Amino acid sequence: MRGVTGVYDVTPDSRPLLGRVPGVEGLYLCAGFSGMGFKISPAIGLVMSELILEGRTKAVDLTPFARRGLRKAAPSKRILSTKMIRKALIQCRQKA
């Protein structure tokens, strides 16, 4: 018999947390992706680098991914739409 274990990194509303951490200068949060994180890491890297270096994002609006009252949030299934990811990946390729 063999078993594997790990942490299931997901928020209660199934949306990742991206953005600044209020009250802690220079600390940014990028967590809660679980199984889909590796697939969209180029797009997430792009938007987080924009946020950190320029103070805002151009590729994707991060408002839906900001810190929020997680216990009160309703589950959202398609918040990371294919269109949003495709747009960010195209911009990532253009900058390379």
Q: Which residues of 16-50 are buried (b: 16+ CB within 10 A; e: fewer)?
A: bbbbbeeeeeeeebbebbeeeeeebeebbebbbeb
pTM of the model: 0.62
Contact 28, 20 (CB under 8 A): yes
Cα torsion 68, 70, 74, 78: sign: positive
pLDDT digits (tens, 9 = 90+) for 53-78: 999 988 788 888 887 655 544 445 44
The residue-averaged pLDDT of 6-22 equals 79
